[in-house]
Amino acid sequence: MTHELGFTEGDLRRLAGARSFQRGLGYLTAVSPLEIGDGTVAATVDGTDAYEVELSEGEDGLTGGCDCPYGQEGNFCKHCVAVGLTVLGQAESVPRQRAAAMSRARQLDTWLESRTRDELLSLVREHLAGDRDLRRRMELRAATAGDDLGAVRERILSLLDTGPFARYGYIEYADSHAYGQQAAEAVTALRTLTGSGRAADAVEVAREAMRSLGRTYGEIDDSDGVIGEVAAGLAQAHLDACLAARPDPERTADWLVEHLLGDLNDATDIDLADYQEVLGEPGLTRARELVVSAWRSNPKGWAEKYLMERLLKAEGSVDALVAVHAADLSPTGATHLVIARELEQAGRAAESLEWAERGLREVDPGHGPDSDLVDFVCERYSRAGRPADVVAVRRDVLLNRRSLAAYQDLRTAARAAGGWGDTERAAALDVLRADGPPHGRHGHGDGYGHRGAALVDALMDDGDHDAAWQAAADGYADQRQWRALADRLRHRRPADALAVYLRHIEPLRARTGDSTYEQLTALLLSARACHRTLGTEGEFAAYLAALRVDQKRKRKLMSMLEAHGL
């Protein structure tokens, strides 16, 4: 039977992937009766909603479409799998059903061809009266075929109206797909206008359509990007109309710059560079005047700066682009890095490195340096055979950013330079120790992630666990680190590790919840391991018995303890 269908269960598994295929098995009973046509199969699958599925067989093999969120992203979803498996399960009857479908289609064609014009009009009007979506599409086609631009404009803007879908003043995720399907018709209408020789009209209406969507885009849950695709479609329809109509280049430049500097371009994301052919030399000159003027008036404005950058990149003006970036330098050094990369791309490596080094010097210690800037400089030093300079940079970073990552980077650099000896390591650890013990000597470190904790992390990362334990005892460790140290040293220092586990168990007694019970169970298992090493299992048994009595009302915890033999 597979030769009739053109696909197998293996094809379904390959198209969907193992996970979706497995999930599709659970939807076999949710598939409605199949509608089998010539090369297609349609069905409804009841899931979170009732989803429409259509499988098609063509020269490239089997394809599937579903209006569920995952399917609308172009994936062969679990609902497609369920329909495909249902088809395979009815393989013997498929040829007969397909032949019957073809016979019905021929019969319908014959019947339609035998109707008079008035009868066909009556039939169409009957369906238009009962199908609002069909009526709206037909009204739009009628408007675009006529000469009434006002009617076309009104119809297209009505398709972008969020009102019917925004039940609470906001289009929720569940309604965004339906709105997107309606809004997409506006894109089709604009393309139809252009294709029918009315490109100039399409230019004007497209601009209004983009403004309309731009005003409401922030009030739509577009998690799947459906509305974003509509916005991109409107922008492309506008560009295509401009290419066909060739509107006044200077006026087009005025509109473009105004749109790009406004806050309505977030949805359409138009790029000035795409309009070079439309603008020509006069339009580009006008656009440059407007952009430069806007940037000079507000050099720190994000939109002005970005537009100026795009314009200069298109022109290849590296020095002018550097000047734009240099007018608003980030305190982290990130802007210096942008400049360095632009110069390097232009083949000006020496200037590139100078800007990157300047970024390290000028960085605000409270904000930086930007880690990518540091990596950029160190990589260039390494290429130039300057390992000592890499170490110097990494050393400065550690002084400013006392973290495990900074310590690891310095260690790697020093080893590459052959200088990670006792002196360099001791100096690096002293930097991490410089803040002093956050919790006081012998503190238990009840907090998490304090600055001084990097010392303990570094010592553990070095494998110097005894030194890490001493640092923890001196007050440098937080709870996470105490637990990690106890886990690593419990075979060598079972009594010390046991004290840590018991200390961490106590506050959990008063708490509830699965996460708490899981933590408590894990700590008890670790404590039992320590007692076994110490040979004091009886002491642990007494402790556990008392704890079980104290916690007996927590049934979930009791079940977890039983499952782990506690």
Q: Reduce the secondary structure of 126-138 to three states and give it as a string.
A: HHHHHCHHHHHHH
**Residue among 469, 533, 546 at smallest CA distance from 498:** 533
Instruction: Specify the pLDDT at position 137.
Output: 66
Domain count, the chain: 2
**Residue among 401, 391, 382 at smallest CA distance from 332:** 401
HEC string of 391-435 equals HHHHHHHHHHCCCHHHHHHHHHHHHHCCCCCHHHHHHHHHHHHCC
Whether the link from the prior residue into 387 is cis, omega within 30° of 0, is: no
Q: Which residues pair with 220 in a beta bridge?
A: 171
**Residue among 182, 196, 205, 200 at smallest CA distance from 144:** 196
Which residue type occupies 220?
I
Instruction: Specify the pLDDT at position 45.
Output: 92
Query: What is the distance between the alpha carbons of residues 313 and 302, in angstroms, rounded to a whole number?
Result: 16
Which of 63, 92, 114 is the endpoint of a domain?
Answer: 114
**Residue among 151, 152, 265 at smallest CA distance from 211:** 265
Q: Which residues pair with 40 in a beta bridge?
A: 56
Buried b (16+ CB within 10 A) or exposed e, 454-477: bbbbbbbeeeebebbbebbbbbbb
Which residue type occupies 486?
A
Query: What does 435-475 look like in DSSP terms, one character per residue?
Result: T--TT-TT----SSS-GGGHHHHHHHHTT-HHHHHHHIIII
For residues 79, 83, 86 and 91, what is the CA-based torsion angle, rounded to 10 degrees? -150
Query: What is the distance between the alpha carbons of residues 292 and 257, in angstroms, rounded to a whole number?
Result: 11
3-state helix, strand, coil in the chain (%, to 5): 70, 5, 25
Which residue type occupies 16?
A
Q: Under a CB-based contact definition with an 8 Å cutoff, are residues 337 and 345 in contact? A: no
Instruction: Specify the pLDDT at position 441.
Output: 43
Instruction: Specify the pLDDT at position 442.
Output: 41
Query: What is the distance between the alpha carbons of residues 116 and 204, in angstroms, rounded to a whole number?
Result: 40
Residue 352 lies in a domain: no
Q: Under a CB-based contact definition with an 8 Å cutoff, are residues 86 and 34 in contact? A: yes
Distances (CA, A) of 326 to 330, 333, 337, 355, 360: 9, 11, 11, 10, 15
Supply the DSSP symbol for 34: P
Order of all β-strands in the sheet with 40-46: 35-36, 40-46, 50-58, 61-66
Residue 507 lies in a domain: yes
Q: Please give the structure tokens belonging to residue 488.
A: 């690593």
Q: Please give the structure tokens belonging to residue 299.
A: 């050099």
Please provide residue 348's backbone torsions phi and psi, each rounded to the nearest 5 degrees. -110, 70
Please state the pTM of the whole predicted model: 0.56
Residue 20 lies in a domain: yes
Q: Under a CB-based contact definition with an 8 Å cutoff, are residues 272 and 260 in contact? A: yes
Q: Under a CB-based contact definition with an 8 Å cutoff, are residues 500 and 529 in contact? A: no
Long-range contact set of residues 463-468: C-beta below 8 Å, sequence gap at least 24 = 465/489
Q: Hey, CA dihedral for 355, 358, 360, 364, is it positive or negative?
A: negative
Query: What is the distance between the alpha carbons of residues 494 and 540, in angstroms, rounded to a whole number?
Result: 13
**Residue among 566, 508, 501, 560 at smallest CA distance from 537:** 566
Which of 114, 144, 176 is the endpoint of a domain?
Answer: 114
Domain interval for residue 556: 490-566
Which residue type occupies 332?
T
Q: What is the pLDDT along the chain (566 residues), one digit of tens a residue?
A: 334 567 889 999 999 998 899 989 989 999 998 888 877 899 999 877 788 999 988 777 888 988 887 887 778 999 999 999 999 988 888 888 888 888 888 898 899 899 899 888 888 888 878 777 677 767 666 666 666 778 888 888 888 988 888 878 888 888 888 888 888 888 988 998 898 888 999 999 999 999 999 888 888 888 878 888 899 999 999 999 999 999 999 999 999 999 988 877 777 878 888 898 999 999 989 998 998 898 888 888 888 888 888 888 777 788 888 888 888 888 999 999 999 998 998 899 999 999 999 999 988 877 778 899 999 999 999 999 999 999 999 999 998 888 899 999 999 999 999 888 888 999 999 998 887 665 544 444 444 445 567 899 999 999 999 999 999 988 888 888 899 999 999 899 999 999 999 999 999 988 888 889 999 999 999 999 999 999 999 999 999 999 999 888 888 899 889 888 88
Task: Quickly count helices (H) and strands (E) in the chain.
Answer: 30, 4
Supply the DSSP symbol for 554: -
Residue 501 lies in a domain: yes
Q: Which residues pair with 45 in a beta bridge?
A: 31, 51
**Residue among 225, 243, 318 at smallest CA distance from 283:** 243
Residue 206 lies in a domain: no
Q: Under a CB-based contact definition with an 8 Å cutoff, are residues 173 and 223 in contact? A: yes
Residue 51 lies in a domain: yes
Distances (CA, A) of 206 to 219, 231, 495: 21, 10, 76
Which of 96, 114, 132 is the endpoint of a domain?
Answer: 114
Q: Which residues pair with 46 in a beta bridge?
A: 50
Q: Under a CB-based contact definition with an 8 Å cutoff, are residues 446 and 507 in contact? A: no
